Amino acid sequence: MPIRIPDALPATEVLESENIFVMTEHRAIHQDIRPLRVLILNLMPLKIETETQILRKLSNTPLQVEVDLLQTVTHKATHVPPKHMESFYVDLDDIRNKRYDGMIVTGAPVEKLPFEDVDYWPELCDIFEWAKTNVFSTLYLCWGAQAGAYYHFGIPKYLRQHKMTGVFERKILKPTSPLVRGFDTVIHAPHSRWTEVHAEDIEKVPELELISVSDEAGVFIAKSTDSRHFFVFGHPEYDTDTLAGEFHRDTEKGLNPDMPKHYFPNDDPSQTPVVRWRSAAQLFYTLSGDDPFRLYTLLVFVSVGLSAFIDNIPYVATMLPVVQGIAGLMNGGAGFPPELFYFGLLTGATLGGNLTPIGASANIAAIGILRKQGEQVRTRDFLRIGIPFTLAAVLTGYVYLWLVWGA
């Protein structure tokens, strides 16, 4: 499904050239679809590049995604034209009364500073506090993950002697977590940071759980047990040449940077890096949000089809615990209210029985009574009435239930 972004955002042209379906604001206002609302707090200096990287990953989610870009007021961007910020970014006061399904907090090149010494730290704390009531779940990246873990759970960061830069192998500790569903047992992810958090500090907090770690690069993914906070201490959104660009930039400045590990073939910076993290990154950004609309639609119409030929009572009795379990796993394990799915199941199973002569006991009994009175009801005659009646009833219930519980 498409991502919905401002018409003139520079990322639009890049994504469309990659055959990614981008829906402009002009087109989106003509569609009656409840989009997934995502707020991106972009703290990176190269904002246009970061916008494009994250939007590329969000493009593979099953819902229409509506994106707002958030900036800090106490720190002004210097690596992007002011007109770009004025045209496409909002500040917290602009959206204080809005609610979002998710927020993404990017990294920032301030990791060597204590959190309290960052000039926009008070504003960032205000944003984190606002998000507690206005955002369902938040994904924090790299320094943003360190800042979020520190603010919400008191997790400290530690300065490294050398920069952790390169593409590192990661083990999945909890393969049953919906957040990493479909991942290989070992994945790769880019890193570029001077500081780190320690696994033992996270393990001391009962409200946190480790999802992925590396023997060489430490913690990669952690999350809160209520699935409101997801911490990724790396950069799965990075493009092929992002680490190369950082390395060559620092080399030209005479900073003698460390060679990114496991990145350039034969550690030769003149060669094109091999991408080993793209599929895992795409899966991560896709699975960070489940799709209740798709599940609800499947439940309704599959139930209609099955109930046209089998007894709906044992079918519903069998499916109720299954539906309850699926609802509990949605939203990264936080769960989704199951009432929508319960009533979707009941609507499809109950009304689907009207589709065929054998779909319900009442149909069979009524046809039997008519035959005793000399009236013959042929299957095609029943279908001629049953199909339009069933579709009209199911569609009415389908739309009504989504408006009540899903929208």
pLDDT tens figures, 102-145: 999 998 989 899 999 999 999 999 999 999 999 999 999 999 99
The per-residue pLDDT for 24 is 55
Q: Which of 262, 292, 294 minimizes the C-alpha distance to 277?
A: 262
pLDDT single digits (tens) 59-74: 765 567 889 999 999 9
Q: 53: burial class by Cβ within 10 Å (0-12, 13-18, 19+)?
A: buried
pLDDT tens across 279-338, in order?
A: 555 555 554 445 677 778 888 888 888 888 887 788 888 777 777 766 765 654 445 677
DSSP assignment of 147-174 equals: HHHHHHH----EEEEEEEEEEEEEEES-
- Render 226-269 in DSSP notation, one character per residue: TSSEEEE-S-TT--TTHHHHHHHHHHHTT--PPPPBTTSGGG-T
- The region, left, alpha or beta by phi > 0 then psi within -120 to 50, assigned to residue 332 is left
Listed by start position, the domains of the chain span 3-287, 292-406
Higher model confidence: residue 206 or residue 256?
206
Q: Give the Cβ contact number of residue 294 at 10 Å.
A: 12
Question: What is the reported pLDDT for 61?
Answer: 58
Which residues on adjacent β-strands are paired with residue 103? 39, 138
Burial string for 204-239 (b: 16+ CB within 10 Å, else e) reads ebeebbbbbbbeebbbbbbbbeebbbbbbbbbbbbb
Question: With 50 as the cut, is the pLDDT of residue 1 above it?
Answer: no
Active site residues: 142, 235, 237
What is the homologous superfamily of the domain 3-287 according to CATH? Answer: Class I glutamine amidotransferase (GATase) domain (3.40.50.880)
pLDDT digits (tens, 9 = 90+) for 339-375: 888 888 888 888 888 888 887 778 888 888 888 888 8
Residues 218 and 233: their CA atoms lie apart, in Å, by: 9
Instruction: Calculate Rg over the CA atoms of the chain.
Output: 26
Residue 19 has pLDDT above 70, yes or no: no
